[in-house]
Structure 1
Amino acid sequence: MGKRWSCKATAEKLFQKARQGVSALLQQDVTPHLVVILVGENPASQVYVSKKTEGCKAIGMKSTCIRLGADVSEEVLLREVQRLNEDASVHGILVQMPLPKHISTDKVIQTIDPNKDVDGFHPVNVGRLSLGQPGLIPCTPMGVMALIAESGYELKGKRAVVVGRSDIVGKPMVQLLLREHATVTVMHSRTQNPEQVCSEADLIVAAVGVPGLVKGDWIKEGAHVIDVGINEVTDTDLAAQLLDPDSRKAKKFKERGRMLYGDVHYSSAIKKAERVTPVPGGVGTLTIGQLMCNCVEAAKLILKEN
C-alpha cells in the first residue's frame, strides 16, 4: 500500500518564497500588483479567482479583480488588456479561462505583455520554455516540479509518462521533465495500448480531464503518481465506479450528489504506487503558490527593464 503524497509542505514553501520576494520588492519601493480579469459569472471561475486574490493577500501583494459581463465584446476585452499592459503599476495580468465562445482565447493571450503573462501562456513564453531561456512558465507544471524536487525524487534517467497534451499542463510538463533528464512519453486520446504505456512509467503525471482514467492495474509497483485532474462528478453510476461503497467519500456523494475527482482512480492506484497526490487538496494548492511566485518574477522583470 502506497502513501498519500501531500502537497501542503511544498505549497507552503512556494508561498514563503513569494512572500520573501514581495518583501524584497517593497524595499525597492515596488508593490507587486496582479490584475485578474473575470468575464461572466462561471461559478468555478469565481472560486478560482477568489483563491488567487486570497493568495495575494496572504503574501502582502496587491490584487485587483476586473469583472466584465459575459456579453462583453472581444474588442473591449482586448482594449482592457492593452490598457493594463501600459499601466506601470500593474506587474501581472491574468485573464481567467474559459472565456465566452465569441471571444478568441488565442487573441487575448497574445495581447498580454509576455513579461506580465503570469500564466505563462503567451507564445513568447512558450518559446522561451522550449529553448530553455528564462521566462514565465505555466503555474501547474512548475508546481509539480517543485513537489518532485521537494520530495527528493531523482528524475534523471527515469521513465515519465504525461497523460494529456494540453498547452496549459501537458506540453510544458514534458519540457520541464526533459530539462531534468527524464525519458518522457506523452499519452493522449489516440495512444494505442495506454495501459502498457503507463505500466512502464516510474512517474505518471495525469492531466487529461477524465475522472479515474488511470487505474491501479495501469501502474507498476512503486511508481510515483501526480494527479493534476480535477473533475466534477454528478453521475451516480460513474461515482459508483470511482468510490468504494463504504468509504466516507461515497457517503458524502450520496448526501450532496456531486464530488470532485481526479484523473487517477485513487483507491486502486494507492495499492500499487509508492505515492499518489490527492484530489482535491493536492496539485491545486501548488498552482496557486506558483502563481504567487510568477507574479513576483513578473515584477522583477519589469523592474529590470525600467
Structure 2
Amino acid sequence: MTPIILDGRSLAQELRQEAELELVELQHRLGRPAGMAVIQVGNDPASSRYVRTISKLCHTLGASFRLEQLAADAAQDDLLRVIATLNSADEVDGIMIQMPLPPHLDTTSAILALDYRKDVDGVHPINAGLLAQGRPGIVPNTPAGGIELLRRNGIELRGKRAAVVGRSPVVGRPMAQLLTTADATVTICHSRTTNLGDVLRTCEIVCVAAGRPRLITAEMISPGTVVVDFGTNVDAEGQLIGDVDFAGVAERARAITPVPGGTGPVTNSMLIKNIITAARTRLVQ
C-alpha cells in the first residue's frame, strides 16, 4: 500500500498565503497591523531560535512583532507586570509566553494572568473550557494544525473511530476534543493504557503525541489507518524522528504525516491564524 503523505510544508505555505490576505484586510479595519508579543525569560538557544522564527514569519506576512525579554533570574512579579502591560496594550492582539519558564517561576499563575482573548497558544483555562464545550475560542496551534491537515486532505472524521496517544494539555487532550467536535468517536490512550496495540487496531485514525520515539509500530495499527504523528524526537545520529516508526507504519497506513515535514510546519502557520482570530474577536467586543 502506498500511503498519502500528509505534507505539512505545502499546507503551511497555503495557510500563510491565506493569512497574508487576511492580515491586509485586518490592517484596513484596525488602522494598524495586527500585533503579537512574545515574552521570553532567559536566553535558551532553542527558545531564541523559535522566537526568531516567529518574528520573521510575522514580519513576512504583515503582522507586527514585539519581544519582551526578561533575565533568567526575573522575579514572578516582573513577569506578571509584563503580562499586565501587554494585556492592556491596544496594539497587541496576541500574547505568547515562551515555554518552558525557568523552574523558579510559577507557570500556572503566569497563564492565568493572561487576557484569554489574547492567548494565541490557547493555554488559558477559559480557552480550554471553550474547546471542551465545543464553543468558539482559541485552540492550541499544534492540534489545530493536525485537524487542518486531515481536513484539507479530505480525510473524513465524522463517524470514524479515532485514538489519541498522549494526554498533554497542549496537544493530546485538545486533539481529542477537536476530533470529538468533528463527530469522531475518540479514545484517549496514555502511558497507563494496557495492550495499546489492541486499542489502536480498532481505530481508523490514530494521532500520536506521546513524546516517545517510534513508539507506534506497524503491527499496532490496522491496514488503511490514517496516522498523524506529532512527535519531535532526536535520535542518536541527531536526526529528527517522530513517535511513529514511519518506514514500517507507512506500509500499512492509508495516509501518514512525515517527521519532519508533517505537523511541525503547520503549527507556526496556525499561530498566525490565532493572531488573526484574536484581532477579529477584539474588533467585535
Equivalent residue, structure 2, for 1:76: 78
Equivalent pair of 1:233/1:259 in contact (CA under 8 Å): yes
Moved more, 41-50 or 293-302: 41-50
Question: Quick check: 1:274 aligned with 2:254?
Answer: yes
How many Å separate the matches in 2 of 1:279 and 1:51? 19
Equivalent residue, structure 2, for 1:14: 15
Question: Quick check: 1:286 aligned with 2:266?
Answer: yes
1:217 is paired with a residue whose SS is helix
The AA in structure 1 aligned to 2:183 is H
Deviations 1:99-155 (A, max 9, x none): 111111111111110110000110111111111221111111111111111011111
The AA in structure 2 aligned to 1:24 is E
Equivalent residue, structure 2, for 1:262: 242
How many Å separate the matches in 2 of 1:261 and 1:41? 26
Equivalent residue, structure 2, for 1:248: none
Alignment of 1:229-244 (within 5 A): 229-234=231-236
Among residues 114, 137, 140, which one is paired with 1:112 in the alignment? Answer: 114
Equivalent pair of 1:93/1:118 in contact (CA under 8 Å): yes
Question: Quick check: 1:173 aligned with 2:210?
Answer: no
Deviations 1:34-59 (A, max 9, x none): 01111122222222222211221221
Moved more, 125-134 or 284-293: 125-134
Q: CA RMSD in A?
A: 1.2
Equivalent pair of 1:8/1:285 in contact (CA under 8 Å): yes
1:222 is paired with a residue whose SS is coil
Deviations 1:193-223 (A, max 9, x none): 0011111111111111101101111111011
Among residues 205, 209, 212, which one is paired with 2:211 in the alignment? Answer: 209
Question: Quick check: 1:2 aligned with 2:6?
Answer: no
Equivalent pair of 1:212/1:261 in contact (CA under 8 Å): yes
TM-score under structure 1 length normalisation: 0.90
The answer for unaligned runs of 5 or more in structure 1 is 235-252
The answer for unaligned runs of 5 or more in structure 2 is none
Equivalent residue, structure 2, for 1:247: none
Equivalent pair of 1:17/1:293 in contact (CA under 8 Å): no
1:89 is paired with a residue whose SS is coil
Structure 1 runs (4+) greater than 4 angstroms displaced: none
Equivalent pair of 1:92/1:117 in contact (CA under 8 Å): yes
Deviations 1:138-197 (A, max 9, x none): 111111111111011111111111010000011111111011111100010000100111
Moved more, 91-100 or 45-54: 45-54
Equivalent pair of 1:230/1:279 in contact (CA under 8 Å): yes
Aligned residues: 283
